[in-house]
Amino acid sequence: MINVTKTFLPPINEYIEYLEKIWESNWITNQGPLSEELESRLKDFLNVDNLLLVSNGTIALQLAIKALALKGEIITTPYSYVATTNSILWENCTPVFCDIENKTFCIDADLIESKITDNTSAIMATHVYGFPCDVEKIKSVADKHNLKIIYDGAHAFGVKFKNESLLNFGDISTVSFHATKLFHTIEGGAVICKDEKISEKIFLYRAFGHLDDEYYSVGINGRTSEFNAAMGLCNLPRINDFILERKNINLLYRDSLSGTGLEFPSVPEGIEYNYSYFPVLFKSESMMFEMKNKLLENGINARRYFYPSLNKLPYLNTESCPVSERTASRVLCLPVFNGLSSANIKFVSEIIKNNILS
C-alpha cells in the first residue's frame, strides 16, 4: 500500500545513541536535557525568541487559547483539521466560521471584518498545506478591532515569509510534530509566542502551574518526554533534505499530471515553501470518489484532507461557507513522504491519467 504519508524513521543507531544518554541520566521526562536541547535547536532553526515544546499540536492550541484568556467568539477557518475547531470548543469558546479564499485555501482575510461582533476576542487561522494566510491583512484587522491572533501552523514548519519563519507571526503560533508531519517527534508540538509574559504563562500551564513547591496558577500536563525529544534531535538535522526531496516530489507530480485538467495549487510567490502536501481538486465530488476508489484498487491511499468543511461538523449548527464546502467535497491529497520513489509518483500519476476521463 502506498499511503498518503509514511513516517520517516532515522537510522536506528542514531536513536540508540540518544537512548544510551537517557539510560545514563535516568531522566526520561519532565523537561530533561534532550527536551532542553531540542527546544534550543528549534529556536535557532526557526529564529524565534519564545518556543515551548508540548505533547502535541492540539494541546498547543488549547494552551494558546488559555494563555491569551480568550472568551466568547473566535473567528476561524472552516478548512483545517478538526483539532482547530475542537480546541476552540474545548476551551468553551464559540467558533465563528469565515470562508476561505480559492487560491491558498486559507481564511479569506477580506471577509473577517464582516464576522466581528462585540463578543469576538480573536482570530484563529490555519496556514493550510503550509501556504501562508494573509498575515499582514489579518494583523491590520486584528489591530483595528483589538483582537488576538493565533495561527495553527501544524503544516507550516520550515516555511518562510519575507525571510522570516511563518511561525513567528500572530500573537501565538502552534505547530504539530506528530508522526505524520514533515518534522516529527513521534507525538509532539510547540507553542511559539511573541510576548515573553505569555510564554512564561504557558511554561507554567504546561506543567500543572507550579514550580517545585510554589503554586502559581491552574495548569495541565502538556509536557513532552525525552524519547520524543530524542526523535526530534535525530530528525531536525535532516529537515532541509526533507524539504528538498518533497520539492522534487511536488515537481514530478506537476509534470506527470499536466494536461489532466486537474487543479493543483501553485506555490505562492515570495515564500520559501516546505512542499508538505500535494492536494488536487477534481471537478466534482463524484469524480473525486471515483478516483479515490480507483487509486485504492491499485493500492494507493489518497486522503480527503480536509473533509468535512468544519462548519458542517454534525455537532455544530453554523451558517454555510460555500468555498470551503466546495473545496472540501472534491479535494484529495496524493501521497507525499520522504522515501517516496519516482517510480511510485509516476505510478500514481498514471492511474489518475488513465482514469480521469472515464
Ligand X SMILES: *Cc1c(COP(=O)(O)O)cnc(C)c1O
Could you tell me which residues come within 8 angstroms of residue 335 by beta carbon, excluding any fewer than 6 positions away?
A: 2, 3, 4, 5, 6, 278, 300, 301, 302, 344, 345, 348
Query: Which of 83/172 has CB closer to ligand X?
Result: 83
Q: Which one of 189, 222, 232, 279 is in contact with ligand X (CB under 6 A)?
A: 189
126 binds ligand X (CB under 6 A): yes
Q: Which of 64, 92, 170 is nearest to 127 (CA)?
A: 170
d(CA 246, CA 305): 18
Which three three-digit cell numbers place residue 224? Answer: 513532552
80 binds ligand X (CB under 6 A): yes
CB of 76 to ligand X, least distance (A): 11
Query: Which of 59/116 has CB closer to ligand X?
Result: 59
User: Rounded to the nearest 5°, which phi and psi values hold at 323?
Assistant: -70, -45
Site string for ligand X, 239-258 (x = CB under 6 A): --------------------
* DSSP state at residue 265: P
349 binds ligand X (CB under 6 A): no
Interface region with ligand X, contact rule CB under 6 A, candidates 114-122, 135-143, 152-160, 232-240 = 152-160
Q: Is 1 helix (H, G, I), strand (E, B) or coil?
A: coil
Query: Which of 61/116 has CB closer to ligand X?
Result: 61
Which three three-digit cell numbers place residue 358? Answer: 472515464
CB of 155 to ligand X, least distance (A): 6
Residues 45-64 that bind ligand X (CB under 6 A): 56-58
Which three three-digit cell numbers place residue 128? Answer: 493550510
100 binds ligand X (CB under 6 A): no
d(CA 99, CA 111): 7
Q: Which one of 39, 108, 134, 152 is in contact with ligand X (CB under 6 A)?
A: 152
* Contact predicate 344/335, CB 8 Å: yes
176 binds ligand X (CB under 6 A): yes
83 binds ligand X (CB under 6 A): yes
CA atoms within 13 A on the CB side of 252: 20
Residues in contact with ligand X by the rule CB under 6 A: 56-58, 80-81, 83-84, 126, 152, 154-155, 176, 178, 189
